[in-house]
Amino acid sequence: MNDVELAVRRALEEDIGPGDVTSEACIPAGREARGVFLARQHLVVGGTEVLPLIYHDLELLKRDGYTAEDGEVVAKVRGKARDLLAFERTALNFLQRLSGVATLARAFAEAVSGTGCKVLDTRKTTPGLRILEKHAAAAGGVTNHRIGLFDAILIKNNHIAAAGGVKQALENARTSSGLPIEIEVRTRAELREALENGARALLLDNLTPEEAREWIDEIASRATVEISGGVTLETVRAYALTGADFVSAGAITHSAPAVDLCFRLELL
């Protein structure tokens, strides 16, 4: 069972438990119905990969990355009325949350259009839902950064302190792994030390756009540059225009508001 299947299984178990007592009390067991997932606002669709894991009879009208306007149908389902109602909240929780991530990601991607800078997501995700949230961010048009601590080396300030400095951290990383290496620099002295010791990917954290532009001028294309910290939808374009290669924004996953989607059921 993969991470997505496990997340869906746990969500259904959490909500339904030993049974949907309301539906079982009100609705005859054999009654058939159909339902639609309906957008109630402009949104970018995300999270549709969970629907086939919940419903057997599914027609998907809008795939991840598609836009939907108020009143448009995203998906149609059929089955026992009891089942459709038992699954309703779990399906909506996934779709509302993940479409929210995709919608915010699209806004970030559009904000830097034409700059040549790519927006990255981060590891600031809901525990247990990282793969789904990363997929939704990509559907919205941003680029996935590391999936976890295992697929690239990102040397942050605490790593530098524990290793004994910028030079030692870089040397240790090179000798212990063949993975890509990026290092955070917090001062101009650390910036210069990193470049002198062969750093090829730099993370500039918590700088203003003006400060970032000065540092990038000094880097002079000797390394790729990612900017993070203080990046919002309102500021992302200013950071992108500094000459950075990447701008990362944790808000895409940790602060995306759920979008307005609803489920409407009718009997067959």
pLDDT at 178: 83
34 annotated active-site? no
118 annotated active-site? no
Nearest C-alpha neighbor of 104 from the set 264, 262, 242, 234: 234
Q: Which two tokens stand for residue 19?
A: 């049974």
64 annotated active-site? no
Q: Which of 40, 80, 118, 124 is catalytic?
A: 124
Q: Which of 76, 123, 156, 192 is catalytic?
A: 156
Mind giving me the DSSP string for 79-123?
A: EEHHHHHHHHHHHHHHHHHHHHHHHHHHHHHHHTTTSSPEEE--S
DSSP state of 143: B
pLDDT at 215: 98
Tens digit of each residue's pLDDT, the chain (268 residues):
799 999 999 999 999 999 999 999 999 999 999 999 999 999 999 999 999 999 999 999 999 999 999 999 999 999 999 999 999 999 999 999 999 999 999 999 999 999 999 999 999 999 999 999 999 999 999 999 999 999 999 999 999 999 999 999 999 999 987 899 999 999 999 999 999 999 999 999 999 999 999 999 999 999 999 999 989 999 999 999 999 999 999 999 999 999 999 999 999 9
For the chain, counts of helices (H) and of strands (E): 11, 12
Q: How many other C-beta atoms lie within 10 A of the C-beta of residue 218?
A: 11
Residue 187, SS3?
Answer: coil
184 annotated active-site? yes
User: Which positions ≥6 away from 221 have C-beta within 8 Å?
Assistant: none
89 annotated active-site? yes
pLDDT at 176: 82
pLDDT at 153: 96
Q: Which two tokens stand for residue 231?
A: 């990046």
Q: Which of 34, 76, 78, 89 is catalytic?
A: 89
For residue 102, which phi and psi values (nearest 5 degrees)? -65, -40
Length of the chain: 268
CA distance 188 to 140: 35
Q: Which two tokens stand for residue 105?
A: 């990601």
User: Which positions ≥6 away from 210 have C-beta within 8 Å?
Assistant: none
Q: Which of 184, 190, 193, 245 is catalytic?
A: 184
pLDDT at 1: 75
Q: Are 228 and 196 in contact (CB under 8 A)?
A: no
Q: Share the mean pLDDT of the chain.
A: 97
Q: Which domains does the chain have, with CATH numbers?
A: 3-108+257-267 (3.90.1170.20), 113-254 (3.20.20.70)
